[in-house]
Chain A
Amino acid sequence: MVDFPKVESNGTIKETTLGSGDKAFTIGGESAYPFHTFEGKMPHAPKLAMEVWDIAPSEWATELNVVFGDVYQDPVAWAKRCVELGADAVMLTLASTDPNGNNAPAAQAVETVKKVSKEIRSPLIVWGVENDAKDGETLRAVAEAIDDRPLVLGPVVEGNYKQVGAGAIGYKHFVVANSPIDINLAKQLNILLGNLGVKDQYVLMDPSVGGLGYGLEYTYSVMERARQAALTQGDDKLQFPLFCNVGKEVWKTKEAKTSEQQEPTWGVAKTRGIAMEAMTTVAFLLSGADLVVIRHPETLKTVRQYLAEMMQ
């Protein structure tokens, strides 16, 4: 290969193995920028999780309803479908617990988690509703109820990290530390979790996702800065695998949902949503994502192919 300036790293991203048994996988371990394997290591291809809700979503895009509509009422069947479609992991969002919606009690959500956990052997991410207090309560209850396998719990934020973190330590679950697109806050939360006693290999970092056209560049740059600090400045409080919840942010936008009849110049709605989800995923893979949550199986397929080509 032609000689060009190389970046020498003095840090390595921590390796984390999620799940157990034959469906477990490892992420992290990079000692180079994403796909820069000519100057360091990227031992594991990034992984893709698909999202399942514990109640039927009413506002999801038509394109998603077509694929999953028949299993919306049954989270177990829905999760199984995601596994069949090839998802590396399943993310179960406990949408029922949203205080702005059904506000279901934590105990009720726990029952759904138990059912899905029993039927799905792939790594299971259990996700809250981005309400600090309610998530603290729900995720703590989930952590305690599922004692026979490691889960991945999130979003864990400054407002509830003690509650969820303590539950995670006790039952050997993983946590996704979520911060509002700010590298300093991300680092601070990692430090707090460490002080609480959560071991490094149990932490993933979620910088919060700005969707395509909705602040993608902020997330992109926070991730690049985090990787730069982790790899070239040896900042061990940022050497964690990066987690991006892309599906939600992409599919809620009007650009992904509006039909071509309403906006002819936006092109075929079916392909547009998938292209947006896949392109957003690619942008974050290029800035360091290790685990990405998406919604559409076509996104899974094309991003897989992209990863295979980029990892060669």
Chain B
Amino acid sequence: MALSGIQIFKFLPKTNCGECGVPTCLAFAMSLAAGKAELAKCPYVSEASKAALSEASAPPIRTVVIGSGDSAVKVGGETVLFRHEKTFVNRPGLALLLTDTMEDAEIAARVKRFGELRYPRVGLILKGELLAIESKSGDATKFKALVDKVKDVPEANFVLIANDVALLKAGAQALAGKKPLLCAATAANIDAVGALAKETACPVVVRAESLDGVAALTAKLEAMGVKDIVIDTGSRKIREAFIDQLALRRGALSGKNKAWGYPSIVFPNEMTQDPIMESLYAATFVAKYGGIIVLSDFRGETLFPILLERLNIYADPQRPMVTEPKVYEIGNVTENSPLLVTSNFALTYFIVSGEIEASRVGAYLLVVDTEGLSVLTAWAAGKFAGDLVGAALKKSGIADRTKNRKVVIPGLAAIISGDLEEELGPDWNVIIGPREASHIVPFLKQMVA
């Protein structure tokens, strides 16, 4: 459960040395409570305090890491039911299914898609993170051969899906050091699978037919000293699986069902044959609490939208998404293309650039660093003032790239035009653009007509 600043303060050295970057221990404690600082910034906190703090502040849903190194995927660690209450923290991992009954060519094509289907957006690369390797044949040799074939796929994390502990063991050995997720421990095999998870330090899925069954299995693993657990409630119908996700999250966050305090794994791939329905199920689990989402395939037309939804839902409502401040070329630009200016709030950038693109008028878009504030808010906060925008324009070097000397400012910030003209000097002509992005299309068409 989250601790208050005062509760955290009791564990700090109270020396007010300031080395953490804030002047007092109390202020640091407040920052920690607000999630704005990390305990590691304090060089003097004792190991005992550290352990006590991490125990006391452990989120009610455990964070589980699958894989190793930079591309490992972290799931769980959530603390709220609704994203607006704070934020969702760890984006659900998306897994691409491979089975040992697929042809070699099919496996190769899937692995290729796994590597290729990645999408740059707001400074991030959106992509799926996992390969889910399933034994359909039950044949250990085939399973091991498949694992061996794909074990070195770059940036892949793995889920091993088999009922037989011997297969999971073979797979885990082939993936030694890569911390695959073992799937699954059931009432029938939990002793053996639990022992394997402990021995290999791999995270493990528990699967039961009911939530009570899940609680019994996680309790058993905890007793064995296995902590990195992921829950499969066994439901393969969307309504049941949806309610299970709600139950797990509510039970864990309320503290009433501590045995449910782990991330989940869901299987839209087993819930329908229709790729669009499957994507709707995945969309449901992105919004409502899926931890790992297994997909029957990665197809650009459904994967890309799922990734966009995931980016949106997991965006931190307390921190605006920003885009890199620089000059963007939109459409086919020439040396006479118009120059527009906007803020670096990512949403503003997306909407403005989308409208410019829709106008089919090639244009330069100068994104000014407004610390993620939208145009009007940034102007009100003094971060979209005429002199700042002018300085950003000069610094961007756009004057060397175009002969055009007209700069279009957002209609909402019309008031800065005088200051901007002054800053830029007589070479430049400041034009007041539309107040709403939706009017950019007719505005640009008219401007170049």
Binding site for B on A (CB under 8 A): 2, 4-5, 35-36, 38, 59, 100-101, 130, 210, 212-218, 220-221, 224-225, 228, 252-255, 260, 264-272, 274-276, 278-280, 282-283, 286-287, 298, 302-303, 305-306, 309-310, 312
Specify the chain B residue showing the minimal Cβ separation from A299: B276
Cβ-neighbour of B354 out of A59, A224, A254 (below 8 A):
A254
Specify the chain A residue showing the minimal Cβ separation from B246: A36
Q: A5-B251, A272-B304, A272-B305 are in contact. Are A278 and B280 (CB under 8 A)?
A: yes
Q: A130-B438, A213-B308, A275-B302 are in contact. Are A302 and B82 (CB under 8 A)?
A: no
| Contacting pair A253 B277 (CB below 8 A) | no
4 tightest Cβ-Cβ pairs between the two chains A and B: A267-B300, A267-B301, A272-B301, A213-B308
Known: A217-B313, A302-B277. 6 other contacts (CB 8 A): A213-B308, A266-B300, A268-B299, A275-B276, A310-B238, A310-B242
**A5, A35, A272, A302 — which one has the most chain B CB atoms within 10 A of its CB?**
A5
| Binary A-proximity of B199-216 (CB < 8 A = 1, otherwise 0) | 000000000001110000
Cβ-neighbour of A228 out of B82, B210, B288, B438 (below 8 A):
B82
**Chain B: minimal CB distance from A266 (Å):** 5
Q: A266-B304, A274-B276 are in contact. Are A212 and B211 (CB under 8 A)?
A: no
| Contacting pair A279 B351 (CB below 8 A) | no
Cβ-neighbour of A275 out of B119, B242, B305, B441 (below 8 A):
B305
Q: A5-B254, A100-B439, A255-B304 are in contact. Are A220 and B350 (CB under 8 A)?
A: no
| Contacting pair B300 A286 (CB below 8 A) | no
| Contacting pair A282 B212 (CB below 8 A) | no
Q: Chain A contacts of B279 at CB under 8 A?
A: 275, 278-279
A287 to B269, CA, bound (A): 24
A310 to B237, CA, bound (A): 9
A220 to B312, CA, bound (A): 9
| Contacting pair B303 A267 (CB below 8 A) | yes
A217 to B317, CA, bound (A): 9
| Contacting pair B237 A309 (CB below 8 A) | yes
Specify the chain A residue showing the minimal Cβ separation from B275: A271
| Contacting pair B117 A305 (CB below 8 A) | no
Binding site for A on B (CB under 8 A): 82-84, 116-119, 121, 210-212, 237-239, 242-243, 246-247, 250-251, 254, 256-257, 274-277, 279-280, 283-284, 287-288, 299-306, 308-309, 311-313, 315, 317, 347, 350-351, 354, 357-358, 438-439, 441-442
**Chain B: minimal CB distance from A270 (Å):** 8
| Contacting pair A216 B312 (CB below 8 A) | yes
| Contacting pair B354 A309 (CB below 8 A) | no
A130 to B434, CA, bound (A): 14
Q: Chain A contacts of B256 at CB under 8 A?
A: 4-5
Instruction: Pull 27 A–B residue pairs with CB atoms less than 8 Å apart, ordered by A.
Output: A4-B250, A4-B256, A5-B250, A59-B358, A100-B441, A100-B442, A130-B438, A212-B305, A213-B312, A215-B350, A215-B351, A217-B312, A220-B83, A220-B313, A221-B83, A221-B317, A224-B82, A225-B82, A253-B354, A254-B357, A254-B358, A255-B308, A267-B300, A267-B302, A275-B279, A280-B309, A306-B238
| Contacting pair A306 B312 (CB below 8 A) | no
Q: Main secondary structure on chain A at its contact with chain B?
A: helix
A132 to B240, CA, bound (A): 44
Q: Chain B contacts of A224 at CB under 8 A?
A: 82-84
Q: A4-B211, A59-B358, A283-B283 are in contact. Are A215 and B347 (CB under 8 A)?
A: yes
Cβ-neighbour of A213 out of B251, B275, B288, B311 (below 8 A):
B311
A306 to B254, CA, bound (A): 30
Q: Chain B contacts of A218 at CB under 8 A?
A: 347
| Contacting pair A306 B277 (CB below 8 A) | yes
**Chain B: minimal CB distance from A309 (Å):** 5
**Chain B: minimal CB distance from A254 (Å):** 6
| Contacting pair B358 A252 (CB below 8 A) | yes
Q: Chain B contacts of A36 at CB under 8 A?
A: 246
A268 to B83, CA, bound (A): 32
**Chain A: minimal CB distance from B283 (Å):** 4
| Contacting pair B347 A212 (CB below 8 A) | no
| Contacting pair B84 A225 (CB below 8 A) | yes
| Contacting pair B247 A35 (CB below 8 A) | no
**Chain A: minimal CB distance from B52 (Å):** 28
Q: A265-B300, A267-B300 are in contact. Are A221 and B82 (CB under 8 A)?
A: yes
Q: Chain B contacts of A306 at CB under 8 A?
A: 238, 277, 280
Q: A217-B315, A265-B117, A306-B238 are in contact. Are A279 and B251 (CB under 8 A)?
A: no
| Contacting pair B306 A309 (CB below 8 A) | no
Specify the chain A residue showing the minimal Cβ separation from B213: A2
Q: Chain B contacts of A212 at CB under 8 A?
A: 305, 308-309, 312
A82 to B167, CA, bound (A): 53
Q: Chain B contacts of A280 at CB under 8 A?
A: 309
A282 to B317, CA, bound (A): 21
| Contacting pair B276 A4 (CB below 8 A) | no
**B84, B313, B315 — which one has the most chain A CB atoms within 10 A of its CB?**
B84
Specify the chain A residue showing the minimal Cβ separation from B355: A252
Specify the chain A residue showing the minimal Cβ separation from B283: A279
A5 to B439, CA, bound (A): 48
| Contacting pair B309 A309 (CB below 8 A) | no
**Chain A: minimal CB distance from B16 (Å):** 38
Specify the chain A residue showing the minimal Cβ separation from B278: A275
**Chain B: minimal CB distance from A287 (Å):** 8
**Chain A: minimal CB distance from B412 (Å):** 13
A310 to B246, CA, bound (A): 14
| Contacting pair B302 A271 (CB below 8 A) | yes
Q: Chain A contacts of B304 at CB under 8 A?
A: 255, 265-267, 272
A135 to B358, CA, bound (A): 24
Specify the chain B residue showing the minimal Cβ separation from A101: B442
**Chain B: minimal CB distance from A91 (Å):** 18
**Chain B: minimal CB distance from A31 (Å):** 16
A221 to B315, CA, bound (A): 11
| Contacting pair B312 A215 (CB below 8 A) | yes
Q: Chain A contacts of B308 at CB under 8 A?
A: 212-213, 216, 255
**Chain A: minimal CB distance from B172 (Å):** 31
| Contacting pair A269 B301 (CB below 8 A) | yes
Q: Chain B contacts of A309 at CB under 8 A?
A: 237-239
Specify the chain B residue showing the minimal Cβ separation from A311: B239
Q: Chain A contacts of B280 at CB under 8 A?
A: 278-279, 282, 302-303, 306
